[in-house]
A = this chain, B = another copy of it.
Amino acid sequence: MADPVKVALLGCGSVGAEVVRLLHEQSSDLTARIGAPIELVGIAVRRAGRDRGTLPVDPSIFTTDALGLVKRDDVDVVIEVVGGIEPARTWLVEALRAGKSVVTANKALLAEDGASLHDAAVEGGADLYYEAAVAGAIPLLRPLRESLHGDKITRVTGIVNGTTNFILSAMDAKGSGFSEALEEATALGYAEADPTADVEGFDAAAKAAILASLAFHTRVGAENVYREGITEVSAADVASAKAMGCTIKLLCIATRTVDGGISVRVHPAMIPRTHPLAGVNDAFNAVFVEAEAAGQLMFYGRGAGGAPTASAVLGDLVAVARNRLSGSRAASESSYASLPCRPMGEVRTRYHISLDVADRAGVLAAVAGVFAKHDVSIATVNQSGRGDKALLVIVTHSAPDAALAQTVSDLRSLDFVKSITSVLRVEGE
Contact = CB atoms under 8 A, between A and B. Distances in A.
A179 interface: no
A26 interface: yes
Interface of A: 18, 22, 26, 29-30, 32-33, 131, 137-139, 142-143, 146-152, 217, 276, 279, 291-302, 305, 307-308, 310-319, 322-323, 326-329, 331, 334, 336-337
The 5 closest A-B CB pairs, nearest first, are: A150-B314, A328-B328, A139-B147, A139-B143, A137-B294
B150 A318 contact: yes
B146 A314 contact: no
A217 B32 contact: yes
A155 to B, nearest CB: 14
Contacts of A217: 29, 32-33
Contact of A293 (B22, B326, B328): B22
Nearest to A300: B298
A147 to B, nearest CB: 3
Contacts of A137: 151, 291, 293-295, 297
Nearest to A19: B150
A279 B301 CA distance: 16
A192 to B, nearest CB: 21
23 contacts: A22-B150, A29-B217, A30-B149, A32-B217, A32-B337, A33-B331, A137-B151, A139-B146, A139-B147, A150-B313, A151-B311, A151-B315, A279-B279, A293-B308, A293-B314, A294-B301, A294-B302, A295-B301, A295-B305, A295-B308, A297-B299, A298-B298, A326-B328
Name, among A279, A295, A327, the residue most crowded by chain B CB atoms within 10 Å (CB to CB): A295
Contacts of A336: 32-33
A196 to B, nearest CB: 27
Contact of A315 (B148, B322, B337): B148
Contacts of A299: 297-300
A300 B315 CA distance: 21
Contacts of A301: 294-298
B293 A18 contact: yes
Contacts of A329: 326
